[in-house]
């Protein structure tokens, strides 16, 4: 294979890498930016929502940052309004978070659901692990104002796709940079 052919192949990695960077970023954005189906303040305790299409959905906690939260006091339960069947909630593996330095959001649970009407109830219990609840109670912060906190049900994606997006993004950036640098190297390098 000639040196020119090798350089052309290395430069072809660049557009493939750029395309893959955009796809990986889109996958990561989907982990945070799903459509909000329900926003339920903690003081309301019960809310109804409609799932338009079968798929993966997530429950997010929303409230002010650097404040004590009601996560150790309430646990969400979702049930179908037509069948009464309870939906199994899976703790979020990655627990993605986002904030704007005033309000923060954190994914608590994910679940699969069919299209239909559902009801979310906040019941006594904990949405956190025991270790998180103990460490949260050990910090002396002001009492919780439930008016400032809410639960959101959002469209989500499989957490496997989110986990795969991170190495995909890194490899595609490496492909773009590596293709450019190695493709521009002196011809003596390839001999």
Domain ranges of the chain: 1-31+159-191, 34-156
Q: Quick check: 186 pLDDT over 70?
A: no
Q: What count of other Cβ atoms lies within 10 Å of the Cβ of residue 104?
A: 17
The CATH number of the structural domain formed by 34-156 is 2.60.120
Packing angle of the helix pair 3-30, 159-184 (nearest 10 deg) = 150
Mean per-residue pLDDT, 120-141 = 68
Q: Quick check: 20 pLDDT over 90?
A: yes
Residue 110 host element (H or E): strand 103-113
Strands 46-51 and 97-99: unpaired
**pLDDT tens-place string over residues 50-92:** 999 998 899 988 888 877 777 777 888 999 998 889 999 988 8
Residue 48 host element (H or E): strand 46-51
- Show the tokens assigned to 27: 């996958």
pLDDT at 132 (0 to 100):
61
Q: What is the pTM of this model?
A: 0.73
Give the C-alpha separation, 109 to 3, whole Å. Answer: 53
């Amino acid at each position: 294979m000639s040196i020119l052919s090798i350089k052309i192949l290395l430069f072809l990695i660049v557009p493939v890498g750029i395309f893959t960077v955009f796809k990986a970023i889109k996958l990561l954005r989907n982990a945070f930016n799903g459509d909000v189906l329900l926003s339920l303040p903690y003081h309301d305790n019960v809310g109804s929502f409609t799932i338009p299409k079968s798929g993966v959905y997530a429950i997010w906690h929303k409230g002010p940052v650097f404040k004590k939260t009601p996560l150790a006091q309430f646990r969400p339960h979702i049930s179908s309004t037509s069948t009464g069947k309870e939906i199994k909630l899976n703790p979020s593996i990655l627990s993605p978070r986002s904030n704007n330095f005033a309000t923060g959001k954190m994914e608590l649970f994910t679940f699969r659901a069919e299209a239909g009407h559902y009801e979310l109830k906040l019941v006594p219990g904990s949405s956190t692990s025991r270790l998180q609840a103990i460490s949260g109670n050990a910090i002396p912060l002001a009492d919780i104002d439930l008016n400032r906190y809410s639960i959101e049900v959002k469209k989500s994606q499989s957490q496997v796709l989110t986990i795969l997006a991170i190495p995909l993004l890194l490899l595609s950036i490496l492909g773009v940079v590596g293709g450019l640098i190695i493709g521009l190297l002196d011809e003596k390098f390839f001999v």
